[in-house]
Structure 1
Amino acid sequence: MELQPGREAVVRVPVATLWAAPEAVRPVDGPALAGDPDVPAWIAGLDHDQQVGDCVLSQLLLGERVLVTELRADGWAHVVAVEQPAAQLDPRGYPGWLPAAQLAPLRPERQRSPQFVVDALATDLHATPGGPPALAGVGLGTRLFRAGPLFDGWLPCHVPGRVDPLWVAETDVVPLPQERPEAKEALAVADRLRGLVYIWGGLSSHGIDCSGLVRLAWRRFGLTLPRDAHAQAGATTPLALGDERPGDLYFFARPGRQIHHVGIVSTDPHGDDRRMLHACYLQRRVVEERLPPDREATLVGAHRV
């Protein structure tokens, strides 16, 4: 099978970056563009300004489905990330460009529901139980499809683009929950990413942005939220300020503008004393802090997932 416009495909690498346009990439982005991208090396090579370049739109994890809408002769594919709702951009999902080599045709077993999700911040998949890594850096929130029985603490899983299963340590995955989690459980997942580098468009445990942090925390429990902060506000339930609890969301907007930032409520509010965990554009990392004055001035509401 080959990739074809009009058909779905699936991400075959641990993290695929979605770009605004092939012409928008920079020389520093080389490690993220390879057929087998090295996203940690790419992030390590970005300077303070390059971490927020608007050439990056989003990221997709191993196994995420896309609709291929165009294939170019130079190896780029235009896709719609159908698992990342973005109604303002495309009712089908989040649109953008990525290297076609990072995709594989959708195989029949991918039509089934995933049974497991990666709970470690990152894990490696192995060609044999306990053997050398065959696919490194598979991140938190990646959903996996079981390919057979557990063997000596190792779980075989189907991996896009590969005929033979790869093996993951049983301790690094958990069954995908069947029941809706409590908000504090999502907060606990996000808190494990405290100190992680801020990357505009980042959506993995290698680097993340504000709405990516919210989305990834809930993805760990099987719940799909929109990609961007303003869309997340539209998909959640508003609360009266003062009624928020840990795990709820704070949204921020400047007067007359759409929502541009989201954080996760980290403690019960005490009067005007509010705290949140968020991927901070200014500090370029995930932090937990009391809302500073500029955030208080742009706080437009609290919502519950």
Structure 2
Amino acid sequence: MTKLDPRRNAFRRDLADARLKGQVEAPRYVEGSLYQVVEGTAPVRREPNPMGALETQALYGEIVRVFEETGEGWAWGQLEGDGYVGWLPTASLRAEVTGPTHRVAARSTFLFPGPDIKLPPLMTLPLGAEVAVTGEAQDKNARYGLIEPAGAVVMQHLSPVDAPREPDWTAVAESFLGVPYLWGGKTDAGIDCSGLVQVALHTAGRQAPRDADMQAAEIGEALEIGDDLPPLRRGDLIFWEGHVGLMRDGETLLHANAFHMCSASEPLVAARSRFAAKGLKITAIRRLQ
């Protein structure tokens, strides 16, 4: 059998995605059912436990293929977008899947219970969340998109799904400066290094895998690393083992990191020196055209 990455292929000792039959062995194969995320963010955990490690987050509107549900309120599934596999709370999912008309274009916005900014918000929707606008309403404060299944979002924070994307994905990453570092996070409430890269690229209309090692292998073109680094430019991705940052210019690195405990900007030479003190060298540099 071919060795598959369990982060992006749904298989366990007792259960596997039916699409993997012939590639992995399991006593039971399941087709899976499509569900949609209806919370601002849904944690995707390694185990069906609220204290389990946070692997990533699914955003409002994302589609999840669920292979198993437990009686304790957990669903084991795979995100249709980047293919990540893990456990999600069943309360964050619904069986009715609605195609999106708009996506959140602000760093975050509120979902109100109705078209009134004075109402207590139902939840916060992060950048990149996808919604189905079924109508519009307006009061003296704002114009709102009415969202399926319920709620309202101010229209200036939404962009049609087919609208041109932000051309400068590095600028998107820069908008997260100061956001707290959170392992597995993908929002302005908390974000990690590869989550920052994935969210920024997605906002620019580019698909990217979730984890740093995947990104180092699959994004853009590799630049040769010799005794000296090649000339760098804005948007280049710099990788260490288990970490990624992006260049704001030829000398300045932006990265979500645990040293600053936030998304921070610093000279690349300072970051290299700090990693070198831990015995870590730059392993890859990738350039997107």
Q: TM-score of the superposition, structure 2-length normalised?
A: 0.77
Matched, 1:168 2:138: no
> Which residue does 1:207 correspond to in 2?
190
Q: Secondary structure at the match of 1:217?
A: helix
> Which residue does 1:141 correspond to in 2?
128
Deviations 1:126-160 (A, max 9, x none): 2322251442211122122221256464242434x
Matched, 1:227 2:210: yes
Alpha-carbon contact 1:145-1:158 (below 8 Å) kept: yes
Give the C-alpha shift of residue 252 in structure 1. 1.1
Alpha-carbon contact 1:119-1:173 (below 8 Å) kept: yes
Q: Which has the higher contact order (CA 8 A, sep 6+)?
A: 1
Cα–Cα, structure 1 residues 150 and 276, in superposed 2: closer, same or farther, change >3 Å?
Answer: farther
What are the residue-to-residue correspondences of 1:1-305 with 2, within 5 Å? 6-23=32-49, 25-26=50-51, 55-84=53-82, 93-107=83-97, 109-110=98-99, 114-131=100-117, 132-149=119-136, 151=138, 153-159=142-148, 162=149, 165-176=150-161, 178=163, 182=167, 185-236=168-219, 237-240=221-224, 241-253=229-241, 260-268=242-250, 274-291=251-268, 292=270, 293-295=273-275, 298-305=281-288
Q: Let me know the Cα RMSD of the aligned residues.
A: 2.3
In the alignment, the residues of structure 2 paired with residue 225 and residue 138 of structure 1 have an alpha-carbon distance, to the nearest angstrom, of: 21
Number of paired residues?
Answer: 245
Deviations 1:68-116 (A, max 9, x none): 01111111111111212xxxxxxxx211112101101133x32xxx343
Structure with larger Rg: 2
Cα–Cα, structure 1 residues 212 and 267, in superposed 2: closer, same or farther, change >3 Å?
Answer: same
Cα–Cα, structure 1 residues 176 and 247, in superposed 2: closer, same or farther, change >3 Å?
Answer: farther
Deviations 1:150-207 (A, max 9, x none): 6464242434xx2xx422112222334655654xx11111111111111111111110
Alpha-carbon contact 2:165-2:203 (below 8 Å) kept: no
Alpha-carbon contact 1:126-1:168 (below 8 Å) kept: yes
> Aligned partner of 2:238: which letter?
Y
Q: Secondary structure at the match of 1:9?
A: strand
In the alignment, the residues of structure 1 paired with residue 120 and residue 92 of structure 2 have an alpha-carbon distance, to the nearest angstrom, of: 18
User: Which blocks of at least 5 consecutive residues in structure 2 are unaligned?
Assistant: 1-29
In the alignment, the residues of structure 1 paired with residue 137 and residue 265 of structure 2 have an alpha-carbon distance, to the nearest angstrom, of: 38
Q: TM-score of the superposition, structure 1-length normalised?
A: 0.73
Cα–Cα, structure 1 residues 187 and 73, in superposed 2: closer, same or farther, change >3 Å?
Answer: same
